[in-house]
Amino acid sequence: MGWIVLIGIVVALLVYVVAMGLYQKRFLKTLTEEEFKAGYRKAQLIDVREPEEFKKGHILGARNIPLSQMRQRLKEVRNDQPVYLYCESGFRSARAANFLKKRKYTQLHHLQGGFRKWTGRVKSN
């Protein structure tokens, strides 16, 4: 009986992850590093990692608005310009995009694989 419950939970989790992925594809564009590099200089580049992560290294030109502070700092993000988001792996930037989408932001992009996969220029404090 315990195995059936465990399998049911795993299946439900997988269905949720797939459904969220399909939903996000409607409003969030996942970009390769090359695509990201081609557009981020003409957009708002936002690192949604925590400040201590940002200080260790970030994409040159990025502003740090942690996901944990996004609600309080929303006025710092313009909704009339593209928004390029990234985090360490892509999970938090997708969550930030969901948050922004609910507040009528439309031009949302995030870096596939996150900062961990980034090979471009980096600044550290």
Which residues are known to be catalytic?
Answer: 87
Helices (H), the chain: 2-25, 33-39, 51-56, 91-102
CB 87 within 8 A of CB 93: yes
**Separation between Cα atoms, residue 23 and residue 110, nearest integer Å:** 15
- 99 by Cβ neighbours in 10 Å (0-12 / 13-18 / 19+) ranks as middle
With a CB cutoff of 8 Å and minimum separation 6, the contacts of 71 are 99
Q: How many CB atoms lie within 10 A of CB 69?
A: 14
